[in-house]
Amino acid sequence: MEASDLALQYLLSGITKGSIYAVVAIGFNLIYSATGVLNFAQGEFVMLGGMIAVALGHFVPVPVAVAVAVVTVAIIGCLLELVVFRRLRTHSILHLVIITIGLSILIQEAALHVWDEKVRSLPYFSGSEITSLKILGAAISPQVLWVLGTVAVSVVALHVFLKFSLQGRAMRACSSNPQAAMLAGINIGNMRTLSFGLSAALGALGGCVISPMTMTHYEMGGPLAIKGFAGAILGGLGNPMAAVAGGLLVGVLEAASVSILPAAYNDVTAFVVILLVLFVRPHGLFGKPAGESVREH
């Protein structure tokens, strides 16, 4: 294989991984915009989506299993907001972030006891492990196209939803100025619940499409949350589309590192680059520095 083909191959594998990070990063962003909290249980949504779809896949066709999994996880996401975060509105952000970490530990342990520590996966959506397509000299699995397609469609759909629908506009109003939004008659609490539901649904969908390639495992949520967080921060918090760019970048960095350094160091390269970017641009690549006032608010 020529060097350029190899580079393309790495780029594609980076984008595939990065698209899942992007999904998680969008989830971080949606909830952050609505509540100011970083939800570290975001990775668990991906894990739960995959797990539930795999479990259902034994009884029903895969598309049905995926649909049911996404809806179930969305409901779980809404419930988390209703049961936990709605009651703790007076707590500081840091406390809430730590509660999400606690929740992520609990969900992970629950998954370990409901299922087990075995690695499982959905069947390939089309073809099998050994089918591959040749694109510009790089060999890729058809599942990669499924992943990229699904993520692209959901990102565009989300963008359209936020930009043009009434609910989407209401959500954006909440994130830019909650008090004004409340005065305009928007139910802020429900918008927060919706943001949790949307993030959970997106994560679960990502977990389903990636499952045939990277397998689903009860411990997969933690590392995904960290990478997604990295993507969201790299892009700059508060902008879902910047999060997509950030997530993809993290994936590509990781893949690029594997081609140069031993595989053990792939995270090292990614995080060194992220740190350097943060030191130069403290609010991420596309984030704007927020002004700070001296007065009490």
Contacting residue, 127, 142, 178, 222, with other proteins by CB under 8 A: 222
Contacting residue, 79, 226, 241, 258, with other proteins by CB under 8 A: 226
Exposed/middle/buried for residue 177 (C-beta within 10 Å: 0-12, 13-18, 19+) = exposed
Q: Does 106 bind other proteins (CB under 8 A)?
A: yes
Q: Does 18 bind other proteins (CB under 8 A)?
A: no
Task: Point out which span in 119-127, 140-148, 193-201, 280-288 binds other proteins (CB under 8 A).
Answer: 280-288
Q: Does 109 bind other proteins (CB under 8 A)?
A: yes
Question: Taking the CB of residue 92, how many other CB atoms lie within 10 A of it?
Answer: 9
Q: DSSP class of residue 18?
A: H
Q: Which residue has the tokens 């988390």?
A: 80
Work out whether the CA dihedral 187, 193, 197, 199 comes out positive or negative: positive
Q: Does 262 bind other proteins (CB under 8 A)?
A: yes
Residue among 15, 17, 49, 21 nearest 226 (CA) = 21
Q: Give how many residues touch other proteins by CB under 8 A.
A: 45
Dump strand ranges (E) for the chain.
133-135, 138-140
Which one, 144 or 274, has the nearer CB to other proteins?
274
Please tell me the distance from the alpha carbon of residue 248 to that of residue 234, in angstroms, as a whole number.
10
Residue 138 β-bridge partners = 135
Q: Does 95 bind other proteins (CB under 8 A)?
A: yes
Residue among 221, 195, 267 nearest 111 (CA) = 221
Which one, 25 or 73, has the nearer CB to other proteins?
25
Task: Point out which span in 45-53, 56-64, 65-73, 102-110 binds other proteins (CB under 8 A).
Answer: 102-110
Q: Which residue has the tokens 């709605």?
A: 86
Which one, 107 or 171, has the nearer CB to other proteins?
107
Q: Does 164 bind other proteins (CB under 8 A)?
A: no
Residue 135 β-bridge partners = 138
Q: Does 237 bind other proteins (CB under 8 A)?
A: yes
Q: Which residues bind other proteins (CB under 8 A)?
A: 32, 38, 84, 87-88, 91-95, 98-99, 101-106, 108-110, 222, 226, 229-230, 233, 237, 262, 264-265, 267-268, 271-272, 274-275, 278-279, 282-284, 292-294, 296
